[in-house]
Chain A
Amino acid sequence: MLTSIIETDTSAASITTDGLLRQFGSLTALDRVTVTLPRGGVVGLLGPNGSGKSTLIRILLGLIPPTSGQATVLGHPTTKPARYAGDVGALIEAPSFVPGLSARKNLLSLARLRGLPTTRVAEVIRIVGLEGRENESVRRFSLGMKQRLGIAAALLPDPALLILDEPTNGLDPAGIVEIRQLLKTLAAEGRTVVVSSHLLAEIQAACDYLVIIRFGELMFSGPMGELLDKAGARIEVAPEHPADVDRLRVALAAAGWSIEDDSLVVHGSAADAAALNRAAHEAGITLSRLTPIDESLEDVFLEMTAAPTRNPVAASQGARKKAATNA
């Protein structure tokens, strides 16, 4: 079924996977993952350690084949990585270079491998802020400097798709902001930037689209806002008179609203505020507060990756409803 989508709508997707399965012996690293990532923008790839992120990246880059299923990158199947290798730059796991060579020579060897002009090396060194350090041996580089060098190597082919595994690992706060800005700039130029990271705040600040994997299973794929809305949209309400608290809880529950524990926190998005207000008004209660609670990606992620079922959004909402019922 997805094959037809791939054939007809490849221009809209940077990456597609269809039932992607990868097993290492008895271990299932990726379990039938089907996902379509848009072209352009910053895509966050999230998941706990050992969730299958790196396996997915390796399959996309043609380093390992899937056990079954198929995937495309920039419209080309991953079985033919040579067709898209020139348009893809990658930082895979830790930055990998020849320690005894300078940063410039390391980049020069990769530029020569890709058939790029020597001048491109100086350009990417400038972009990642390694000017003045390019002739130093990589052996003497800090982790942060190696990260910058890894990003420089990924930028060498001026790629349409950039895949970066933990790009801000080892960077100081100023460096993180700098790289985040760089990623946004690259995406604004029309590139697709896929960022795998454990820094959830960083992902939230930089990404437009999100893919969450746990134990090889796809937990979520969609725009960042959609996830936060679905999993975390809550509104805190308060009556004008404290004596009306219990009456308000009963009225809202009767109107079908899910309420958290002993508080007056109702599950709903900002768009539900008017309906809530109306329900309270119909019960003869005036509200003094109606405040949407912004849940962070970290809250959602931790809740999602701790959920025992495959559908964490449903699981978390179900848990809240159950708690409200018990209360």
Chain B
Amino acid sequence: MRELRSELTRLNRRGIWLGWLGLMAVFAVLINTVIYTIAANGSAPPGGGPGVAFPSMATLESSSGIVAGVSSAASMFGVITLSFWAIATASDYSTGLIRLLAAAQPHRWRLLLGKIGALLIWTVLATTVAVVVNLAAALPSAEAAEISTDFWMDDLVSEIARAWLTSFSASVVWGIIGLVLALLSRSSAIAISVGVGWVLLIETIIKTASSDAGQWLPGTTLTALAQGGTDDLSFAGAVLIGCIYAAVGLIIGLVIFIRRPITE
């Protein structure tokens, strides 16, 4: 608990508030503008790439249309989450603060669990901001694109809850990946570059080369998780693989953090 409170104190700064929550809000507005504009123009949804999943007109007009932006921007939200988990972890090394922290609390697993707990709380906050901004942006975007919102009030609460939960779950796994990359590299720049480069380049190449193997990769899995399942991967499958990624990531992170000497 002490470690959690300490980490929350360090995360409570303007850069995190504006950067993390601000980017989530900006992307929530942006994705709504884009998906409704594309749907209204009647052009075919762009495809390809993990996380790039534009909803059809039918989806936008259904009861889940009001939260379609949350699912569509899942990878964007994931990358933002990965980045801030990586920044919060690697900056302890780049500032040298890790020496003070580890000297004050030699049980390093407690330090790491405190950090993860604090970042989970921030991810709850960031996901909530994304969903709330999405709700605020969806209606004017739909009206501007002259898309029917007649069914949006059906199952409103359950649709919002589902969108929040799946987006949050996917973001947490993204965050854990960012944490592990930061612990390995001890550099937020390297961790973010590797994370984003993987999603945008490497995973796309692998998926193009082998669509079967691509279904199991992080970007595709977490997109399926955020969207409640896709044609390639069921929701249950995405949950299972996502849990495996999270568990393996946490184990690797703990082992690295506990066993690796703190030198420079």
Binding site for B on A (CB under 8 A): 24, 58, 61-65, 81-82, 85, 88, 90, 92-94, 96-101, 105-106, 108-110, 112-115, 153, 157
Query: In the complex, are the beta carbons of A109 and B9 less than 8 A apart?
Result: yes
Query: In the complex, are the beta carbons of B263 and A113 less than 8 A apart?
Result: no
Q: How far is the CA of A100 from the CA of B11 in the complex (A)?
A: 10
Q: Which residues of B contact A113 (CB under 8 A)?
A: 2-3, 6, 101, 104-105
Query: In the complex, are the beta carbons of B102 and A110 less than 8 A apart?
Result: no
Query: In the complex, are the beta carbons of A64 and B100 less than 8 A apart?
Result: no
Q: Which of A64, A82, A112 contacts B5 (CB 8 A)?
A: A112
Q: Which residues of B contact A64 (CB under 8 A)?
A: 261-263
Query: In the complex, are the beta carbons of A96 and B95 less than 8 A apart?
Result: yes
Q: Which residues of B contact A65 (CB under 8 A)?
A: 261
The number of residues on chain B lying at the interface, defined by a beta carbon within 8 Å of a beta carbon of chain A, is 28
Q: Which residues of A contact B252 (CB under 8 A)?
A: none
Given A63-B103, A90-B103, A100-B3 contact (CB < 8 Å): no
Q: How far is the CA of A195 from the CA of B103 in the complex (A)?
A: 17
Closest to B95 in A: A96
Q: How far is the CA of A114 from the CA of B5 in the complex (A)?
A: 11
Query: In the complex, are the beta carbons of A88 and B103 less than 8 A apart?
Result: yes
Q: How far is the CA of A100 from the CA of B20 in the complex (A)?
A: 15
Q: Which of B12, B104, B106 contacts A110 (CB 8 A)?
A: B104
Q: Which residues of B contact A88 (CB under 8 A)?
A: 103
Nearest-neighbour CB distance to chain A for B60, whole angstroms, equals 40
Nearest-neighbour CB distance to chain B for A76, whole angstroms, equals 11
Query: In the complex, are the beta carbons of B13 and A85 less than 8 A apart?
Result: no
Q: Which residues of B contact A115 (CB under 8 A)?
A: 2
Q: How far is the CA of A96 from the CA of B264 in the complex (A)?
A: 12
Q: How far is the CA of A153 from the CA of B262 in the complex (A)?
A: 19
Binding site for A on B (CB under 8 A): 2-3, 5-7, 9-10, 12-15, 91, 95-107, 261-263
Q: Which residues of B contact A82 (CB under 8 A)?
A: 106-107
Q: Which of B2, B7, B12, B97 contacts A96 (CB 8 A)?
A: B97
Q: Which of A24, A85, A98, A105 contacts B97 (CB 8 A)?
A: A98
Q: Which residues of B contact A110 (CB under 8 A)?
A: 6, 100-101, 104
Known pairs A90-B99, A96-B99, A113-B105. 13 more at Cβ < 8 A? A58-B262, A61-B99, A61-B102, A64-B263, A82-B107, A92-B99, A98-B91, A100-B15, A101-B10, A105-B10, A110-B6, A115-B2, A157-B104
Closest to B3 in A: A113
Closest to A24 in B: B263
Q: Which residues of B contact A62 (CB under 8 A)?
A: 102-103, 106
Closest to B4 in A: A112
Query: In the complex, are the beta carbons of A85 and B104 less than 8 A apart?
Result: yes
Q: Which of B3, B95, B99, B263 contacts A98 (CB 8 A)?
A: B95
Q: Which residues of A contact B102 (CB under 8 A)?
A: 61-63
Q: Which residues of A contact B98 (CB under 8 A)?
A: 96
Q: Which residues of A contact B107 (CB under 8 A)?
A: 82
Closest to B263 in A: A64
Q: Which residues of B contact A109 (CB under 8 A)?
A: 6-7, 9-10
Q: Which of A58, A92, A101 contacts B100 (CB 8 A)?
A: A92
Most buried by B among A24, A65, A97, A109: A109
Nearest-neighbour CB distance to chain B for A50, whole angstroms, equals 13
Closest to B99 in A: A92
Most buried by B among A90, A113, A115, A157: A113
Query: In the complex, are the beta carbons of A112 and B6 less than 8 A apart?
Result: yes
Nearest-neighbour CB distance to chain A for B94, whole angstroms, equals 10
Q: Which residues of B contact A114 (CB under 8 A)?
A: 2, 104-105
Nearest-neighbour CB distance to chain B for A51, whole angstroms, equals 16
Q: Which residues of A contact B262 (CB under 8 A)?
A: 58, 63-64
Q: How far is the CA of A144 from the CA of B233 in the complex (A)?
A: 58
Q: Which residues of A contact B261 (CB under 8 A)?
A: 63-65
Q: Which of B5, B6, B7, B95 contacts A99 (CB 8 A)?
A: B95
Closest to B260 in A: A64
Q: Which residues of A contact B96 (CB under 8 A)?
A: 92-94, 96
Query: In the complex, are the beta carbons of A93 and B99 less than 8 A apart?
Result: yes
Closest to A96 in B: B96
Q: Which residues of A contact B6 (CB under 8 A)?
A: 109-110, 112-113
Q: How far is the CA of A97 from the CA of B97 in the complex (A)?
A: 6
Nearest-neighbour CB distance to chain B for A20, whole angstroms, equals 15
Query: In the complex, are the beta carbons of B100 and A85 less than 8 A apart?
Result: no
Q: Which residues of B contact A58 (CB under 8 A)?
A: 99, 262-263
Q: How far is the CA of A98 from the CA of B263 in the complex (A)?
A: 19
